[in-house]
Structure 1
Amino acid sequence: MPALASPPTPGAAAAAPDSGPPSAVEDFAYPGATQILRDKGIKLVRGDGHLLLADCNDNKPQIKVMTKADASVGRAGQYCFQATAKTGYLTLEVPRVFYLQTADHPISADLSADGQKKTVDLSKDDFKSVGEGDILSGGKRSVLVELRVTG
């Protein structure tokens, strides 16, 4: 007859399994960012999933970002983003931005030029010249570094 195992002593820790499922820690990295950089010439870094790169469609409410096209890096002249909630954010790098347009959501955008950061707020159904397009502010080459949906 096989020997019976003795019952665990009170307070004894159970042995950890040798392997288990990986932990699910969200780092908010934008899915497919490497491929998007190769295909579309813009860098999408991270976000909360409520602001997504989309195919531009004038029949849909989208946030539009106009930039100077550069075929050598695959950068188009326009990028569109779809908000899936009333708030959201996306950290990105879109060089040479000169114009922003909103649709059904107000936004806040951070641009960087010459080591300085500038925040631009746009209300719902608004548009604004920024960076090189903002002649009154000096028309500096700017990189869009963050988009936030604010309502």
Structure 2
Amino acid sequence: MVMRRLRLLAAMTVPLWVMAPAARADVPAPEDAQPGIVEDGVYPGAERILAERGITLISGNGLITLTDCGEPGTIQLYSAEKGHICFKVRIWRAFAPDLPTLEPALNSFIVLRIPDVYVIKGSRTATQQATLTVDDRTKTYDIRPDEWTPVGEGVDPDNPPETLVELRAGQEKTW
């Protein structure tokens, strides 16, 4: 009895589905329709931040973001030109040890330009690297967690000022 009712129900619903009007390709979308969501990697609000704070934020994956200083666990830095600047770090944890593309796990990143950086303090829980440039040369520093690491002029006052161009953070491999 139950099977007969299910077959009858199925027979009744199929014609309704077939009779439903199909979407028409020749009908334009409304003018006030939202644009499609496409991740372009551009830092949101970068123009406003450049105008207000003079910090150039270029791109990233959204896991390192500019924040107010004072929050615990942030990456902090000092620039002789821009002052005290802080970034919140979130770590994407992958539970797939068999994927070699996840190594090294410095998966959070931001591309930026902050001139004359001389010291960086790492967040408490992440492994961090900072890439700085001077005179078309690039140098990558390992930033110690929860410690101040001198860079550029902070290492030696005779060093020329270095521009921070990238921050990376991640969790050390635990498997």
How high is the TM-score relative to the length of structure 1? 0.78
Q: Find the counterpart in structure 2 of residue 81 from structure 1.
A: 87
Q: Are the aligned partners of 1:108 and 1:150 in contact in 2 as well (CA < 8 Å)? A: no
- Distance, in Å, in 1 between the alignment partners of 2:78 and 2:159 is 14
Structure 1 runs (4+) greater than 4 angstroms displaced:
none
Shift of 1:17: 4.0
Distance in 2 between the 1:35 and 1:15 partners? 39
Unaligned runs of 5+ in 2: 1-23, 93-106
In 2, the alpha carbon distance for the partners of 1:140 and 1:63 equals 23
Which structure would you say has the larger Rg? 2
1:121 counterpart letter in structure 2:
D
For 1:133-144, list aligned pairs within 5 A.
Answer: 133-135=154-156, 138-144=158-164
Equivalent residue in structure 1 for 2:120, among 100, 107, 121: 100
Secondary structure at the aligned position of 1:38 is classed as helix
Does the CA contact (< 8 Å) of 2:120 and 2:151 recur in 1?
yes
Q: Is the 8 A contact 2:89 2:123 kept in 1?
A: no
CA distance in 2, matches of 1:142, 1:135: 12
Query: Does residue 52 of the first structure (1) align with residue 55 of the second (2)?
Result: no
User: 1:40-62 CA deviation, whole Å, 9 max, x = no partner?
Assistant: 111011111110111000x5111
Percent identity of the aligned residues?
32
Q: Distance in 1 between matches of 2:169 and 2:162?
A: 20
Q: Which has the higher helix share?
A: 2
CA contact (8 A) 2:77 2:119 kept: yes
Contact 1:30 1:45 in 2 (8 A): yes
Measure the CA separation in 2 of the matches of 1:61 and 1:122.
14
Partner amino acid, structure 1, of 2:108 = G
User: What is the one-letter code of the residue matched to 2:168?
Assistant: R
CA RMSD, aligned part only? 1.9
